[in-house]
A and B are shown apart, each in its own frame.
Chain A
Amino acid sequence: MNKPKRTAGAAQHRITARGAMQSAWQTHWRTARESLARLLRTPGATAMTVAVIGIALLLPSGLLLSMDNLRTLSGSLGGVSQISLYLEDEVSQVEAEALSAQLLTRDDIELARYVSPEEGAADFVRYSGLGDILRALEENPLPGVIVLTPAMLDSPAAAALQQELAAQPGVDSVQIDLEWVDRLQRILTLTERASTGLLLILSLAVLFITGNTIRLAIEGRRAEIVVVKLVGGTDSDVALPFLYCGALYGLSGGLAAWVLLMLGLLTLQGPANELLRLYGSDLVIAGPGAGSTILLIAGGTLLGWAGAFISVKQHLAAIEPR
C-alpha cells in the first residue's frame, strides 16, 4: 500500500478573517436575493400573504393616524367654547350688566354678553318652538345669564376659571360648554387605547401569519434542509433563508400598509381639508410623519422576522437527516 503524503485536504486552504467577513456578506446578500426570488416565483401566494399582513398593519395604523388628527383638531376647538354664568334671581339687570362689564376686563375672557330672563325667554320661544309651555307658566322661570367667550383655554385652566366664577357674588351656577370637547378628548383617549390594543392583537396576527407561512415553507423544503445539514450546514445556516423570507413578508406587508394608508389619505384629504376651511380652521389633515412611516415598515419587518424565527425554532430542529 502506498503511504500517502498529506498534500491535499481542508488544511491546505485557510479562510482568512477578512475573507470570512467578505463571505458572510456574500452569504447574506445571496440569501436575501434568493429568498426574494423564491417569493416572486409564486407571485399569487406571496401577494395574498403580503396583502393579509398589509391589511392587519393598516387597520391599527389608520386608526392611530385618525386619532392623531382628531386630537389636533379637538385641541384647536378648545378655545372657541362658551361659558354660561347663571345668575341668582335677585340680581337686577343693572347689577348683572355691571358684572358683565367687570368680567370683560379680565385677560382670560374675550367676550361677555348679558342675556336677561326676558331675552332668554324670547330666544327660547324662537329657537325651541315650545312657546306655549313658557306662556302657560305664570312667571318667567329663566334666570339671567352672562355668556362668556374665554380666551384659549385648556381643560384644567377652564375648570379653574369655572370655580373662580362660581364664587362670584350673585352667580348661581357656571356651565362650561367646553364639556363636549372634554368628552371628545376622553373618547379619543379611550379609542386610542383600544387602537393600541388592536395594534397588539393584529401584530400577534402578523406573527402567526408569517409563522404559519414559514412553517409551510419549511415543510416544502424538507429535502433541502436535510441535504444542507448533511453537508455541514449549521442550524443558523438552515434557518437564514427562512428568516429572510419572514422579514421580506413583513417588509412588503409594512410597505403595502403604508401605500394603502397614503391612498386613503389622498382620497380623504381634499374633502376633509375643505370641510375644515369651511369651519374657519386653518388646520389640514396630516399624514404619517417620517418617524411613523419608518416605525410601520420597520415594525412590519421585525414582526415578519420574529414570526419566522418562532416557526424556525419550532419546526427546523425536528428535521434531521436519517
Chain B
Amino acid sequence: MITFDNVSKRYPGGHQALNQVSFGLEDGEMAFLTGRSGAGKSTLLKLLMVMEKPSQGQIVVDGKNLGRLPHQQIPYYRRRIGVVFQDHQLLFDRSVFENVALPLQIEGYPKHEADRRVRAALDKVGLLKKEKMNPLMLSGGEQQRIGIARAVVNRPRILLADEPTGNLDPELAAEIMHLFEQFNQVGVSMLIASHDLSLITRLQHRILTLDQGELVQDAWQSALPTRQEPHQRSQE
C-alpha cells in the first residue's frame, strides 16, 4: 500500500530530516512509527500527504508515484487518506460537528448521508454529546479526538496519525489505540507516529524506529527490545 524507496528529505535550511529511508506497508497492515523528538516522524507523514516533497527517492502509495502526481490530483489523493495531525488542525470558527463534516462537505456528500456519518464518527470517539460545542471549549484530549473523528469520517483506506494520543491520559490513549485497531480490522492500512513506547509495545504490531532521519529498526513488538532482522525492508 505504501512503499518508501531510498527516500531522503533535506529541508531548505539544510537539515537532513530523513536519510535513505526504505520500507513497505502492505494493504491492511498496521504499523507504528517511533523515534525521539526530531527523528523525522512528522516529516515522513508530511511526505505521504504531499505537504513536502522528498529531495531524493520515491514514494508509491496505492500504486501512485507521489513524485509524479500532478498538482490538481493532490486533493483527490488526499481525500483517500485520513490524517490525524500532531497540532490537530481544527477550525475554531465552527462547531465540533462542522469540523468533522468538513471532508464530507468537500467530497460533496448529500447532507443526510454526511450527518449520519459525522454522528457515527463522533460516537466512536465519544464526543457525540459535544457536537454543537466549539472545539475551543474542549480539552486538548477532546480536540485530538475531534481530529481523529474527522480523519476517519470518510472511511479512508489509509489512516495516518501523528501523535494521536499525545494529549490523552493512559486509559483514553489505550482506548483510542483500540479504536485504531478496529479500523485496521475492517481493512484500513495504518501508520501511527508515536513516542509512547510503553503503549505501543503492548500492542501487537509492527514498529518502525527512526533515529536522526534513518530507519534504524523495523520489527515486531514481540522482538523488541532486542535488535533483530528487520521484518520487511523495501521491495528490493
Contacts and interface: CB of A to CB of B under 8 A. Distances in A.
B187 A8 contact: yes
A4 B185 contact: yes
B103 A1 contact: no
- Mostly, the B contact residues are loop
B60 interface: no
Contacts of B93: 224
A232 B89 CA distance: 14
A27 B106 CA distance: 8
Contacts of B106: 228, 231-233, 237
A40 to B, nearest CB: 14
B75 A8 contact: no
Contacts of B187: 4-9
Interface stretch (B17-25, B137-145, B149-157): B149-157
B51 A232 contact: no
A313 to B, nearest CB: 15
The residue in B49, B93, B106 that gathers the most chain A C-beta atoms within 10 A of its C-beta is B106
Interface in A211-250: 223-224, 226-235, 237
Given A2-B185, A232-B79, A23 B102 contact: no
Chain B: interface residue count, which band?
Answer: 35 or more
Contact of A230 (B72, B83, B186): B83
B175 interface: no
Interface stretch (A12-20, A135-143, A267-275, A300-308): A12-20
Given A6-B187, A8-B187, A232 B105 contact: no
Chain A: interface residue count, which band?
Answer: 35 or more
Interface in A271-292: none
A10 B80 contact: yes
B28 A23 contact: no
B186 A20 contact: no
B90 to A, nearest CB: 8
Contact of A19 (B83, B110, B188): B110
A321 B183 CA distance: 26
Contacts, number: 101
B123 interface: no
Contact of A23 (B85, B90, B109, B184): B109
Nearest to B94: A224
Given A6-B187, A10-B154, A237-B106, A232 B78 contact: yes
A322 B188 CA distance: 25
B80 A230 contact: no
Contacts of B111: 26
A231 B188 contact: no
B180 to A, nearest CB: 13
A102 interface: no
A183 interface: no
Given A8-B188, A22-B110, A322-B51, A234 B72 contact: yes
B196 interface: no
Interface in A1-51: 1-13, 15, 19-20, 22-24, 26-27, 30
A4 B90 CA distance: 31
Contacts of B77: 232
B107 A232 contact: yes
Nearest to B76: A232
Given A4-B28, A230-B89, A232-B79, A9 B156 contact: yes
A231 B156 contact: no
A226 B49 CA distance: 13
B91 interface: yes
A231 B103 contact: yes
Interface in B169-209: 183-188, 204-205
Given A7-B186, A231-B102, A235-B72, 11 more contacts: A2-B185, A4-B185, A9-B186, A15-B109, A228-B106, A229-B75, A229-B78, A232-B78, A232-B106, A233-B106, A322-B52
Interface of A: 1-13, 15, 19-20, 22-24, 26-27, 30, 223-224, 226-235, 237, 320-322
7 contacts: A2-B185, A7-B187, A230-B85, A231-B150, A234-B76, A322-B51, A322-B52
Interface of B: 27-29, 49, 51-52, 72, 75-80, 83, 85, 89-91, 93, 102-103, 105-111, 150, 154-157, 183-188, 204-205
A-B complex: 10 closest residue pairs judged by Cβ atoms: A232-B79, A4-B28, A23-B108, A232-B78, A4-B187, A8-B186, A6-B187, A231-B103, A234-B75, A9-B157
